[in-house]
Amino acid sequence: MEKFIKLGMIILIGWGLYQTIAFIFLFDNIYPEEIELTGIAKVVSMKTEKTRSNSYIVKIMQSNLKNTKNTKLIIYTTKDCDLKYGDIIQISGTFSKAEVARNYKGFSYRNYLKQSKVYGSLYSQNTKILNHDTSLIGGIFQFKSKLYEKLNQLYTKDTSAFLKGILLGNSDDLEEEIKENFRNSSMSHVLAISGMHVSYVIVGMQLILDKCIHHRKLKNYVILLILIFFVLITGAAPSCMRACIMSGMLLISQNVYRKNNFYVTILITFILLLWINPFHIFAVGMWLSFGGTLGIVLFHKFLKRYLECKLKIKTRFVKSFLEVFLVSFAAQILIVPIMVYCFNTVSLTFFISNLMIYSLVGPILSVGYISILLGIVIPAVRQSFSNCGRIFGGNYF
């Protein structure tokens, strides 16, 4: 039986690799560089407001081009055009592919869009709503929109923008200068939903569910469903999916009484992410997420044993401080080379900045998640958490 399972896994992996390679090579041949396009599409994203236009991601249902069904585009509309997730619309305009990198190691907007399976953009001259498709995903996007509204109501503009980034993975409203400061201090991972965020969600849900559900297996399955919801609500970034898939596999292994093997788990997670979207292989966030996780597993215990043996530490406070420092240091061992390769820069003070940020992120995440969830149903409690949130996050900038 085990031989058939292994053979099935090999066949599945081989087929996945074939599909991945085929998708990568065929991607650029679906659309020409520029062409007039008319068709019917479904809105599959929230609105992004620009200075003179609004933008949406749409999935093509029917068009004047062959083999474009189910492909995704970014469309730009006039400011007065307000679309919702699930709207079936008629579009027409000039399609064009995104710009490629003009300089060596420069930013390629085309490759960036590929990570979301987006083929290019279209300035829609005539956008008409034909129908609306209601679905579970549409309901999740409506809930996400309400979360954004509550953050805007609870906090100042700058604090709301920061919390959208750190809680929900949406840094579109953050000023470019602030993003650059995070990059220069090697703390960009704070604005990307990753293992740190997922661990806080799991711990928080476990504390709540311990009071309601006493059956361990049922509690693990509920947490698994919450993780799926969390991936969808935060935009399904590769770093978030990596953390949620690995955490989900750990929960499942507990339910089936199997020991979780880290290296098998991370390999399966890597294959799943490439199966979902082969262009995730080019996502820097995915490299950083896998690199940081591998760094912690490979180096943390060794460094901890070595320093405790050499320094002969007995004080609990020093041990706790050393634990936090070594987790950060072990993660950075593999993250720093990736940062240097991708951005040609790295902060020499990243150890200090990461130690400081980890002490602040916990309260910010806790207060932020609780405030927006309670803010939906309990206005009075919402305001008290808002005031608490301003203490932790209001003067961050």
pLDDT in tens, 152-206: 777 777 777 877 877 777 777 777 777 777 766 666 666 677 777 888 888 888 8
Confidence of residue 306 (pLDDT cuts 50, 70, 90): confident
Please name the residues in contact with 70: beta carbons below 8 A apart, sequence gap of 6 or more: 59, 60, 61
pLDDT in tens, 8-56: 767 776 776 766 777 777 888 888 888 889 999 999 888 888 778 889 9
Per-residue buried b or exposed e for 297-330, using 16+ beta carbons within 10 Å of the residue's own CB = eebbeebbeeeeeeeeeeeeeeeeebeebbbbbb
Query: Length of the chain in residues, anyone?
Result: 397
Domain regions of the chain by residue span: 34-134, 192-270
pLDDT in tens, 243-260: 899 998 998 988 888 888
Confidence of residue 321 (pLDDT cuts 50, 70, 90): confident
Confidence of residue 341 (pLDDT cuts 50, 70, 90): confident
User: What is residue 392's predicted lDDT score, i.e. its pLDDT?
Assistant: 45
Mean pLDDT, rounded, for 278-288: 84
Question: What single string gives the DSSP state of each residue in 324-354?
Answer: HHHHHHHHHHHHHHHHHHHHS---TTHHHHH
Contact 159, 393 (CB under 8 A): yes
Confidence of residue 397 (pLDDT cuts 50, 70, 90): very low
d(CA 292, CA 388): 31
User: What is residue 101's predicted lDDT score, i.e. its pLDDT?
Assistant: 74
Judge: domain 34-134, CATH 3.40.50.300: no
Angle 366-224-148 from CA coordinates, rounded to 5°: 45
Neighbour-count burial of 33, counting CB atoms closer than 10 A to its CB (0-12 exposed, 13-18 middle, 19+ buried)? exposed
Lowest mean pLDDT among 185-194, 234-243, 277-286: 185-194
User: What is residue 6's predicted lDDT score, i.e. its pLDDT?
Assistant: 65
Confidence of residue 395 (pLDDT cuts 50, 70, 90): very low
